[in-house]
């Protein structure tokens, strides 16, 4: 049997990983500034994370949600403390798409409405509603098409106001990434998030903060939406939550009440997933990784801004993007093959940095030296 060929892939086989480094099957070492797409939050194979999972594995890996699983409450309590949202309610699931799907559904159960506002260049996942709210026609199958989604330009307060003025009573929810990831590292402005908050309050809509990629400390705050100083009604989380162990969740504001059987899951919140997620929060706190993300992120952005060839350096914490001009279009590829550094991209011309939040200054310095070297080499070849 062959694999179903859904992605173009790099010709490299990673067999070992530690901290911000990975090694291929030929023993070659790579600096990982991609984190398998923002998933590696506390660093590859962190010893505390490995130990927590191993110890749990020896006891019990899984039982369904038909019994008490105290680890889930332990996780909820810890998550409440670290995120500062102690009065929210946690529902656990398995992936980012599933988290958003549940959030959109929960909003609709709550206010009985159908329309969803999403934004240009958004990515919310591949399941039916999440993909319908994703601004990329290539991902939407005919069966996912719905006229319940209204797409608006990001950070356009006037368009948002007009949309609520026209459709306000029908809007169930507004879903927005605090920093768009797949769309190319576009930061939602604080004033825009504040506007969403006030319009949702005025019209009884639910504000959903998609924090699947920008959450869990990546921006330097637990949720990048927190920069705006207002709370969302539902936050969705995945990627960094398990540092590679598949675990996701949504946290729901206290005024949204649960009803039995509206949400549910077989695998969500299993013992192993909770152990992994707890280990991540413990390390995040113990090693002060949000502070590190702020510090190293600022260093990287300052250094990148000083490189004249790179344009529009943007992002927060360790979620950074910049535009690469057409004549340097091989930069990402050359960083990988010549410098052995993994980075991310957004089509057509954005390089995305999504490293572990424990990235060390010397690794950041190595990246800056390497990118300068590769830019100079590309310019030399072109002249
Ligand atoms: C902002 C955002 N939301 C949702 C998703 C979907 O997450 P998953 O691939 O875990 O379903 C992603 C994945 O890239 C994402 O970046």
Q: pLDDT above 90 covers what percent of the chain?
A: 98
In the predicted model, is pLDDT for residue 50 greater than 90? yes
pTM for this predicted structure: 0.98
In whole angstroms, what is the distance from residue 51 CA to residue 163 CA? 50
Compute, in angstroms, the gap from residue 212 CA to the centroid of ligand 1: 6
Please give the number of the atom of ligand 1 that sits closest to the Cα of 126.
11
Q: If pLDDT is split at 50, 70 and 90, which confidence band does 370 have?
A: very high
Asked if residue 363 lies in contact with residue 31, where contact means CB atoms within 8 angstroms, the answer is yes
Please give the number of the atom of ligand 1 that sits closest to the Cα of 100.
4
pLDDT (average), residues 261-282:
97
In whole angstroms, what is the distance from residue 279 CA to residue 256 CA? 28
Could you tell me the two tokens for 38?
């923002």
Question: Which pLDDT belongs to residue 383?
Answer: 83
Asked if residue 316 lies in contact with residue 224, where contact means CB atoms within 8 angstroms, the answer is yes
Residues with CB under 6 A from ligand 1: 95-97, 100, 123-125, 177, 181-182, 210, 212-213, 238
Compute, in angstroms, the gap from residue 238 CA to the centroid of ligand 1: 7
In the predicted model, is pLDDT for residue 253 greater than 90? yes
Asked if residue 263 lies in contact with residue 255, where contact means CB atoms within 8 angstroms, the answer is no
Strand partners, 19: 44
Give the sign of the dihedral formed by CA 56, CA 59, CA 61, CA 65.
negative
Residue 293: burial class (beta carbons within 10 Å; 0-12, 13-18, 19+): buried
How many C-beta neighbours within 10 Å does residue 45 have? 15
Mean pLDDT of the chain: 97
Please give the number of the atom of ligand 1 that sits closest to the Cα of 97.
11
How many C-beta neighbours within 10 Å does residue 194 have? 14
In whole angstroms, what is the distance from residue 200 CA to residue 117 CA? 11
Compute, in angstroms, the gap from residue 37 CA to the centroid of ligand 1: 9
Could you tell me the two tokens for 95?
């992936």
Among candidates 173, 177, 197, 285, which has minimal Cα distance to 237? 177
Q: Select from 37, 39, 95, 96 the residue to mutate for testing ligand 1; criterion: most ligand atoms less than 8 Å from CB.
A: 96
Asked if residue 321 lies in contact with residue 345, where contact means CB atoms within 8 angstroms, the answer is no
Question: Which pLDDT belongs to residue 382?
Answer: 87
In whole angstroms, what is the distance from residue 179 CA to residue 219 CA? 9
In whole angstroms, what is the distance from residue 105 CA to residue 82 CA? 26
Question: Which pLDDT belongs to residue 18?
Answer: 98
Question: Which pLDDT belongs to residue 292?
Answer: 98
pLDDT (average), residues 343-347:
93
Among candidates 269, 205, 195, 261, which has minimal Cα distance to 230? 195
pLDDT in tens, 90-142: 999 999 999 999 999 999 999 999 999 999 999 999 999 999 999 999 999 99
In whole angstroms, what is the distance from residue 104 CA to residue 92 CA? 15
Q: According to DSSP H, which parts of the chain are helical?
A: 35-38, 47-59, 70-83, 96-111, 128-132, 157-167, 190-203, 271-286, 289-305, 331-337, 361-382
DSSP conformation class of 383: -
pLDDT (average), residues 222-238:
98
How many C-beta neighbours within 10 Å does residue 38 have? 26
In whole angstroms, what is the distance from residue 149 CA to residue 129 CA? 9
């Amino acid at each position: 049997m062959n694999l179903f060929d859904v992605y173009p892939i790099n010709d490299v086989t990673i067999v070992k990983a530690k901290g911000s480094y990975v090694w291929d099957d030929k023993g070659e070492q790579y600096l990982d500034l991609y984190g398998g797409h923002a998933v590696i939050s506390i660093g590859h194979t962190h010893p505390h994370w490995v130990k927590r999972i191993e110890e749990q594995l020896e006891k019990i890996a899984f039982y369904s949600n038909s019994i008490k699983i105290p680890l889930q409450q332990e996780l909820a309590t810890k998550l409440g403390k670290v995120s500062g949202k102690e009065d929210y309610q946690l529902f656990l699931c398995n992936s980012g798409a599933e988290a958003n799907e549940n959030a959109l559904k929960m909003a609709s159960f709550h206010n009985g409405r159908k329309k969803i506002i999403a934004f240009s260049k958004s990515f919310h996942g591949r399941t039916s509603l999440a993909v319908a709210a994703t601004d990329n026609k290539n991902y939407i199958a005919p069966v996912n098409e719905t006229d319940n989604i209204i797409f608006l330009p990001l950070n356009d307060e006037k368009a948002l106001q007009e949309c609520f003025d026209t459709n306000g009573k029908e809007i169930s929810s507004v879903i927005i990434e605090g920093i768009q990831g797949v769309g190319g590292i576009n930061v939602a402005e604080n004033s825009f998030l504040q506007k969403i908050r006030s319009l949702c309050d005025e019209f009884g809509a639910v504000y959903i903060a998609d924090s699947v990629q920008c959450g869990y400390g990546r921006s330097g705050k637990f949720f990048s939406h927190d920069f705006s100083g207002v709370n969302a009604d539902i936050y969705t989380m995945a990627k960094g939550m398990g540092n590679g162990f598949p675990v996701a969740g949504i946290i729901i504001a206290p005024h949204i009440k649960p009803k039995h059987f509206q949400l549910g899951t077989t695998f969500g919140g299993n013992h192993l997933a909770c152990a992994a997620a707890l280990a991540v929060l413990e390390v995040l706190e113990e090693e002060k990784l949000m502070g590190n993300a702020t510090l190293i992120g600022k260093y990287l952005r300052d250094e990148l801004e000083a490189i004249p060839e790179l344009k529009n350096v943007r992002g927060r914490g360790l979620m950074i993007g910049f535009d690469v001009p057409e004549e340097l279009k091989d930069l990402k590829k050359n960083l990988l093959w010549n410098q052995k550094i993994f980075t991310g991209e957004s089509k057509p011309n954005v390089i995305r940095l999504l490293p572990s939040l424990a990235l060390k200054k010397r690794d950041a310095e190595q990246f800056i030296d390497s990118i300068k070297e590769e830019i100079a080499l590309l310019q030399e070849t072109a002249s």
